[in-house]
C-alpha cells in the first residue's frame, strides 16, 4: 500500500509562483530613457535571446526541481502485507509418568478401555501442538526422572518424543520429587512470570526425593506447578470363578500430595478419570496459562530517495543550461 508520511507539505508546491507574483507587483516601472542608438541595442539583445535556452524551459526545469523536492520531503512510503512477529510466551515443562502402572487399561473410550499412557499421549500431544509461542520441555520419570526434550519452540519434536516414550524405560517406581527437582534446574533461570510445570502421574512417590520438599523449593523459585492425577476410580473385573467385582485401579494415587504440590506453588490439582476429563483438564490449563496473542507488523519502505534523485538530476540539467547560456554569451 502506497502512502505519504507528511502529505500536507504538498501545500508548498505553489509557493514559488506566489512569491514571484507578489514580488512582481511590488516592482516599480523604471523611468523611460530615450537612447539614440536603441535600434542597435535591440538587435544585439534579440541575437542574445535567440542564442539562449528559452526562458520557459528554464522555468519549467526549476519548477520540476521544486516539485521533486517537496515530494521527497512529503516522505512517500510503501507498506507491505502483514507479517507475523516471532512470539515468546511461557516456559512450560511437562513431566509425564512412564512407570509400569501407566499400562493399566482403565480409561474408558466408548464401550472399551485403553491404557493410561495411550490416552495421555493423545491428549497431551494435542495440547503441545496448540502451544504456539511457548518454550516447551518434556521430562519423563519413573524410578528416576530424565530430561527427554529441553525447552524449545519446536513443539513438533516434543510431541514426537512423547509419542515414542516407552513404559518402564525409567524404572517401575515413581519418583515425583525427582521430576520436580529436574524441572527446577531447568526453569529457575528463566523469567519469573513464565515458569510453569504440568506434572502428570497415576501413583504415589515411591522413589527419590520427597515431593513435598521439592514443591517447597519450587515455590521459592517462583515455579507454578499444576498437577494431574490420572486413572479411573472404579472398574469391574472378573474373578477366578467368574465372579464380577468392582476394584479401584487408582488406589495408589496420592491425591493429598498432588494437592499439596499445587497449593504450595500456586497451581491447581486436576483429576482425570477418563480421556474426556483429561481433555477438559488440558483445556482448562490452556485457559489458565494462555498462549500469547499473535502479533503482526507491516514492513514499511521509504521511497523519498527517488524524487530526491530526480531533483538532483533536474538541478544538474538546469545548471548545465545556465552554463551553456553564459558560454554562448561570452562568444
3-state secondary structure 258-301: HHHHHHHHCCCEEEECCHHHHHHHHHHHHHHCCCCCCCEECCEE
pLDDT at 2: 78
Read off the pLDDT of each residue in 84-99 and give the average, rounded to a whole number. 76
Read off the pLDDT of residues 183-234 as tens digits, 9 standing for 90 and up: 999 888 887 677 889 999 988 888 888 999 999 999 999 999 999 998 887 6
Q: Beta strand pairing status for 135-141 and 91-97? A: parallel
Read off the pLDDT of each residue in 78-96 and give the average, rounded to a whole number. 73
Stretch among 25-29, 37-41, 91-95 having the lowest mean pLDDT = 37-41
| In the predicted structure, residue 315 carries a pLDDT above the cut 90 | no
pLDDT at 33: 54
Looking at domain 91-288, its CATH superfamily turns out to be von Willebrand factor, type A domain (3.40.50.410)
pLDDT at 263: 94
Q: Select from 124, 260, 148 the least CA-distant residue to 200.
A: 124
> What confidence tier does 88 reach under pLDDT thresholds 50, 70, 90?
low
Q: The C-alpha cell of 212 is what?
A: 513435598
Q: Is 226 helix (H, G, I), strand (E, B) or coil?
A: strand
pLDDT at 291: 55
Q: Select from 294, 319, 315 the least CA-distant residue to 67.
A: 315
pLDDT at 64: 87
pLDDT at 241: 54
pLDDT at 57: 75
pLDDT at 294: 55
- What phi and psi, each to the nearest 5 degrees, are found at residue 154? -80, 80
Stretch among 48-52, 126-130, 285-289, 327-331 having the lowest mean pLDDT = 48-52
> What confidence tier does 30 reach under pLDDT thresholds 50, 70, 90?
low
pLDDT at 179: 93
| In the predicted structure, residue 41 carries a pLDDT above the cut 60 | no
Bridge-partner residues for 297, per DSSP?
A: 83
pLDDT at 296: 59
Read off the pLDDT of each residue in 157-185 and give the average, rounded to a whole number. 89
Residues 167, 169, 174, 178: is their CA dihedral positive or negative? negative
Read off the pLDDT of residues 226-272 as tens digits, 9 standing for 90 and up: 999 988 876 655 555 555 555 666 678 888 999 999 999 999 899 88
Higher per-residue pLDDT: 261 or 39: 261
Read off the pLDDT of each residue in 317-325 and give the average, rounded to a whole number. 79
> What confidence tier does 171 reach under pLDDT thresholds 50, 70, 90?
confident
Average pLDDT, the chain: 80
pLDDT at 51: 47
> What confidence tier does 170 reach under pLDDT thresholds 50, 70, 90?
confident
Nearest-5° Cα angle at 283, 267 to 189: 45
Amino acid at each position: 500500500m502506497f502512502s505519504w508520511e507528511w502529505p500536507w507539505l504538498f501545500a508548498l508546491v505553489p509557493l514559488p509562483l506566489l512569491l514571484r507574483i507578489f514580488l512582481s507587483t511590488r516592482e516599480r516601472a523604471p523611468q523611460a530613457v530615450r537612447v539614440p542608438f536603441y535600434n542597435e541595442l535591440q538587435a544585439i539583445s534579440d541575437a542574445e535571446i535567440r542564442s539562449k535556452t528559452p526562458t520557459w524551459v528554464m522555468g519549467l526545469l526549476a519548477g520540476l526541481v521544486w516539485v521533486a523536492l517537496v515530494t521527497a520531503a512529503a516522505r512517500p512510503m510503501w507498506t507491505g502485507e502483514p507479517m507475523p512477529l516471532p512470539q515468546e510466551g511461557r516456559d512450560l515443562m511437562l513431566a509425564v509418568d512412564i512407570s509400569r502402572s501407566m499400562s493399566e487399561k482403565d480409561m474408558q473410550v466408548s464401550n472399551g478401555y485403553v491404557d493410561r499412557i495411550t490416552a495421555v499421549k493423545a491428549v497431551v500431544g494435542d495440547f503441545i501442538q496448540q502451544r504456539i509461542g511457548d518454550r516447551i520441555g518434556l521430562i519423563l520419570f519413573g524410578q528416576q526422572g530424565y530430561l527427554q526434550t529441553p525447552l524449545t519452540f519446536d513443539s513438533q519434536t516434543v510431541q514426537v518424543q512423547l509419542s515414542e516414550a516407552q513404559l518402564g524405560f525409567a524404572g517401575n517406581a515413581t519418583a515425583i520429587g525427582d521430576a520436580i527437582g529436574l524441572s527446577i534446574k531447568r526453569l529457575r533461570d528463566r523469567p519469573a512470570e513464565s515458569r510453569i510445570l504440568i506434572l502428570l502421574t497415576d501413583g504415589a512417590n515411591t522413589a527419590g526425593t520427597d515431593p513435598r520438599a521439592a514443591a517447597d523449593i519450587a515455590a521459592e523459585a517462583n515455579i507454578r506447578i499444576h498437577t494431574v492425577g490420572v486413572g479411573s476410580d472404579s472398574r469391574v473385573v472378573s474373578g477366578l470363578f467368574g465372579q464380577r467385582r468392582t476394584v479401584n485401579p487408582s488406589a495408589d494415587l496420592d491425591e493429598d500430595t498432588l494437592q499439596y504440590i499445587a497449593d504450595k506453588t500456586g497451581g491447581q490439582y486436576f483429576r482425570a478419570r477418563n480421556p474426556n476429563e483429561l481433555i477438559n483438564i488440558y483445556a482448562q490449563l490452556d485457559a489458565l496459562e494462555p498462549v500469547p496473542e499473535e502479533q503482526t507488523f507491516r514492513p514499511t519502505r521509504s521511497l523519498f530517495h527517488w524524487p530526491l534523485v530526480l531533483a538532483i538530476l533536474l538541478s544538474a540539467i538546469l545548471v548545465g543550461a545556465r552554463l551553456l547560456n553564459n558560454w554562448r554569451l561570452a562568444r
